[in-house]
Amino acid sequence: MTKRQALVTGANKGIGLAIARGLAEAGMTVWLAARDRERGAKAVAHLEADGLDVRFIEMDVADDGSVQQAAERLSNEISALHVLVNNAGVLIDAATPPSQLPMEDIKATFEVNVFGPIRVTQRFIPLLKTADDARVVMMGSGLGSMTLMTDPTSMFSTVNLLDYPASKVALNAVTLAFARELEPYGIKVNIVEPGNVQTDLNGNTGALTPEEGASTAIKMALIGPEGPTGGFFGSHGRQPW
C-alpha cells in the first residue's frame, strides 16, 4: 500500500514543525517546506533521527516561482497529495498602532498570510484531486474571528492590531471559497486556530507549547469522510467566525 503524502509549509520550526512531526508519527510521508534550505534541512534531520519519514522541499510561499518549482518537483516525486497544511505565516509588527502602520508592512503580511495559502493551494490542486480524499488545513487565528475580537470576555478582544487580524479574517473567506469548490472532489478544507502558543511571532510568550498548538491542525488533517469542510476549529471544537 502506497503511503499517504503530506505537505506542511513554514515547517522548519514552531507549530509547523510540530504538525510535521505529528503527521509523520501518524504514518505519513511528510514534505517539510521552508524557504531557508539550511534551516529546513536541519529540521528534517532532527525528525529523521527519530525514525520519521520526512523530506525537505524548498518553498517560499510569497514567491510565485518558488511555489511553482516546488509543485513541479513534488509532481515528479509523488502521484497524489493527501494532506496540505498551509501553516506559514508572519506577524511583522505587534507594537505600532493601526494609524501608523506602514503600508509596506500591511502588504507584506497579506502576501504571506493570505496570498501565500491561495497560491500554494492553487498550485497543488492537481495533486490533491488525484488523492480523491485530500485534506487542506489553513492556519488561522482567534484574531481572525470578528466574534471573539468583539467579545469582552475573550482574550482576543484585548488586542488591537491591523494587518495580522485582517489577514486572518481574509483567510477565513479564502477557506470557505476553496471548501465549496473542492467538496465535489472529496477534498475537505478547514481553518484552525492553535490558541495562545509559544512561537517566534509572540516572542515565545504563549501559554501553550507548539505541540499543543499543532493538535487541532493534525486532527483536521486526519479527519475521515464523515468529517466537516468549510469550518473554523480550535481545541474546543468549532469556533465563531
Report CA 3 to chain centroid distance, whole Å: 22
Task: Determine the structural domain holding residue 227 and report its residue range.
Answer: 5-238
- Rounded Cα distance between 98 and 41, Å, is 37
Find the CATH number of the domain harbouring 155: 3.40.50.720
Indicate whether 1 pLDDT > 60.
no
Confidence class for position 236, pLDDT limits 50, 70, 90: confident
The C-alpha angle with vertex 22 and arms to 118 and 53, in degrees rounded to 5, equals 90
Number of domains in the chain: 1
Based on its alpha-carbon atoms, the radius of gyration of the chain, rounded to whole angstroms, reads: 17
Those residues whose C-beta lies under 8 Å from the C-beta of residue 75, and which sit 6 or more positions away, are 126, 127
Give this prediction's pTM. Answer: 0.95
Burial degree of 170 (CB within 10 A; 0-12, 13-18, 19+):
middle
Confidence class for position 210, pLDDT limits 50, 70, 90: confident
Contact 207, 196 (CB under 8 A): yes
